[in-house]
Structure 1
C-alpha cells in the first residue's frame, strides 16, 4: 500500500483492523473454544459467523473507499477480466480449504477436531506441492513451531478448564445467575454489561483465555434471560476482535508495529478511527440477533 502511494499510517490502520476478521469468519479457533466451553454446536457457530463476517468486511471496504475518496488517495488501475481469472485460479487451492472444512463439518463427514487434522494435511500438501511456499527441509522447523504454539494453547486451555471446574464445584455461576436475576436486569442491559466486561478483558488478555474463563459464567445467565447461546457466542467473538486492536496489549497492534516498523503509539493512533467502526458494528450484532442467527435458522440447524 505504501509503494502504491498510500500513507503509512492509513495502511497500518487498515491492516491492523482487517486482521481481526480471522476469528469471526469460520473456521475460527475462538468459536471452537467457545463451543467447547459451553457445549454448543461448532457447525452452528461457524454458520452464525458467516453473515456478520461478510457484513463487517463490507463495512470496512465501504469505509476505506469513502476515506480514500475524501483524501484523494491514489487508485490502482481497474483489473481486467483476465487478471480476475488469474487471481481466482491462484487463490483457488487456498479458498478450497474453507469449503473442505465447513462442508465436511456440516455434512457430517468429520467432527471439528477431525476437520483440524484434515485442514492441516491439506494445507501442508498445498504449501509443499501446489504453491511450493514450503520445502521438505523446512518441515521440521514448521512442526516445531506448531508444537510450541499448541503447547501454549493447551496450557491455557488446561488451566481455564481447571478454573471452570472450580467454578462449577463451588456453584459460582449459579450464584451469579441468581444474583443477576434478582437484580431484574433486562436482556439488553445484561448484554451491555457483557460487552463492557469483555472489552475491558480483551484489552489485557488473550481471546481464548477470556472465552474459557468468562463463558462458563455468562452462559447460564444468558440462558436464564432467554438469550440464544449462539448469539452470545458471536457477541463474545466480536468483542475478542476488538480486543485484538485495543491498547495496551492488543496483539494486532504489536504485530502491525513489528511489520511496519512504526512506533506502537503511531499504530494505536492509526487504528483508533477503525476501532470506532468496530464498536458500532458490535452494537448491531448485540441488539439485532437476526444478523447472527439468520443463516443457522435458514439451514434448520437446531
Structure 2
C-alpha cells in the first residue's frame, strides 16, 4: 500500500474531514465512496453495504431502545429513589457520597448500557449532591462521576457489547454475562481508591440512615431495582431476544415512571423522545459509516494482512492481548470509543480466532479498554462532559482521576491474564467457548 493508493487517499480524506469538523460517520462514508471511485469499483456498493447492514442486523434496534429506557428513567423519579436507596446502604462510610456515586452506577448499569447516559443523567445529580455545602471539591466529584460512569457499559446491558456482537458474531447474551464480574471488579477498584483518598483528605461522613427506615426506602426503590431483573431475566430465560428485552425495558421504565410514580409530564415525555432520537441518529451514522468502511477494509484484505504480520512476530495469545490492550488504550486517548469498536477491533478479530482466544473474553477486554479510554487524557469524552457539567478546570479533573485510572488499568490486567474472570459466569449458564 503506497501513499497514492486508493486506500491511503481514503484514509487521508476521512482524517481531514474529521479534523474539519464533519462527524466521523459522515467522514467514513465520504472516504469510502472516494475509495470506490478511485479503485474503479461500483459506487452503488456503498449504499448496498449501508442498507443491507442496517436492515439485516436486527440487534441494532436494541441500541435506541436502551437509550430510550435510560431517558424514561431520568424524567421520572426512578433515579431519585435509587439514589436514596444507595445512600442508605453506603452513605454512612467516610467519603460516603463518593461510594454512593459508584454504587448507583452499578445499579444504573443494569438499565442504560451507556456511560454517557449515566454521566449526563445521574452524574449531574451526583455532582450537585457531592459539592453541596463544599463537602467535596467540584473536580473530585466530577472525577468520581466520570470513572463510575464507565461501569455502565461493562455490566449488562451494554451498547458497546451490542456493537461488538454486530462485528464479531459473538453471542450477545454470553457477552452480557461476561461483563458482570469485570464490571464489579472495576467498581471494587474504584471504591478502594475512594476509601484511601477519603481518609487522606478527610472527606465527610454522611448522617447515617436509621436501620428502621431501610425497609421503607427499599420498598420505594423496589420497582426500579426490578428493572434489571426483568431485562436480564427475559434474555437468559429465553423468553426474549436482547432487542425485545430492550423494548420491554423502555416500556417498563415508562410504565413505572408515568403510571406508578406519576412523575412524567407530556413535555418531559416529548423531550425524552427527542433526546433519544438525536442520540440514536448519532450512533446510527457511526454504524452506517463503519459498515461501508469495513467493506473497504475487507476489499483491501486488511484483516488477513494484519494476521499475517502478527503471525510473523510469533506472538503468543497473551502477547497478542497485551499488544491489543496497549494499542486500544493509546487510541482511546485520541479517538471516540464507538469508532474504535467498529473500525479497529474488527481488524484484530481474525487474529484472535487464529490464536484460539475466546471471542467473548476478547470482546469484554476490548470494551473495558474502550471504556477506560473515555476517561483517559487528553481527549477522553467523559472528561469534557464532566468539565462542562461541573465547571471545574479540566486539569484538576485529570489530576483527581489519575489514581482511579491506575487502579482500573490494574483491573484490566487481571481480566486480560485471567480469562476465567470473564468466562466463569457465561460457562455457568452453559457457554461452551
Q: TM-score, normalised by structure 1?
A: 0.94
- The match for 1:45 is 175
- The match for 2:256 is 126
- Once residues 393 and 261 of structure 2 are traced to their aligned partners in structure 1, the CA distance between those partners, rounded to angstroms, is 34
- Once residues 224 and 199 of structure 1 are traced to their aligned partners in structure 2, the CA distance between those partners, rounded to angstroms, is 23
Instruction: State which drifts further: 228-237 or 124-133.
Output: 124-133
C-alpha displacement of 1:182: 2.0
- Once residues 123 and 66 of structure 1 are traced to their aligned partners in structure 2, the CA distance between those partners, rounded to angstroms, is 36
Q: In 1, are the aligned partners of 2:167 and 2:346 still within 8 Å (CA)?
A: yes
Q: Confirm or deny that 1:13 pairs with 2:143.
A: yes
Structure 2 counterpart of 1:88, from 197, 204, 218: 218
Structure 2 counterpart of 1:222, from 349, 352, 355: 352
Q: In 2, are the aligned partners of 1:128 and 1:136 still within 8 Å (CA)?
A: no
Instruction: State which drifts further: 259-268 or 150-159.
Output: 259-268
Aligned 1:152-231 pairs, distance under 5 A: 152-231=282-361
C-alpha displacement of 1:103: 1.0
- Once residues 131 and 61 of structure 1 are traced to their aligned partners in structure 2, the CA distance between those partners, rounded to angstroms, is 31
Q: In 1, are the aligned partners of 2:139 and 2:393 still within 8 Å (CA)?
A: no
SS in 1 for 2:226: helix
C-alpha displacement of 1:79: 2.6
Q: Confirm or deny that 1:57 pairs with 2:173.
A: no
Q: Confirm or deny that 1:115 pairs with 2:245.
A: yes
Q: TM-score, normalised by structure 2?
A: 0.67
Q: How many residues align?
A: 302
Q: For CA contacts below 8 A with separation 6 or more, give which structure has more relative contact order.
A: 1
- The match for 1:2 is 131
Q: In 2, are the aligned partners of 1:203 and 1:247 still within 8 Å (CA)?
A: yes
- Once residues 269 and 24 of structure 1 are traced to their aligned partners in structure 2, the CA distance between those partners, rounded to angstroms, is 24
C-alpha displacement of 1:133: 3.9
C-alpha displacement of 1:12: 2.4
Structure 2 counterpart of 1:284, from 411, 414, 417: 414
- Once residues 221 and 117 of structure 1 are traced to their aligned partners in structure 2, the CA distance between those partners, rounded to angstroms, is 35
Gaps of 5+ in 1: none
SS in 2 for 1:22: coil
Gaps of 5+ in 2: 1-129
- Once residues 370 and 306 of structure 2 are traced to their aligned partners in structure 1, the CA distance between those partners, rounded to angstroms, is 23
Q: Confirm or deny that 1:141 pairs with 2:271.
A: yes
**Structure 1, residues 193-226: CA drift from partner, whole Å, max 9, x if none?**
1011111221222222211112221111111111
Question: Which of structures 1 and 2 has the bigger CA Rg?
Answer: 2
SS in 2 for 1:3: helix
RMSD: 1.6
- Once residues 204 and 132 of structure 1 are traced to their aligned partners in structure 2, the CA distance between those partners, rounded to angstroms, is 43
**Structure 1, residues 241-277: CA drift from partner, whole Å, max 9, x if none?**
1111112221211121122111222211221221111
Instruction: State which drifts further: 245-254 or 127-136.
Output: 127-136
C-alpha displacement of 1:80: 2.4
Shift of the 141–78 alpha-carbon distance from structure 1 to 2, 3 Å rule, reads closer
Shift of the 255–86 alpha-carbon distance from structure 1 to 2, 3 Å rule, reads farther
Q: Confirm or deny that 1:260 pairs with 2:390.
A: yes
**Structure 1, residues 133-183: CA drift from partner, whole Å, max 9, x if none?**
421232222212211111111100011111222222332212211221122
- The match for 1:297 is 427
Shift of the 86–261 alpha-carbon distance from structure 1 to 2, 3 Å rule, reads farther
Q: Confirm or deny that 1:75 pairs with 2:205.
A: yes
SS in 1 for 2:152: helix
Q: In 1, are the aligned partners of 2:258 and 2:264 still within 8 Å (CA)?
A: yes
Shift of the 82–259 alpha-carbon distance from structure 1 to 2, 3 Å rule, reads farther
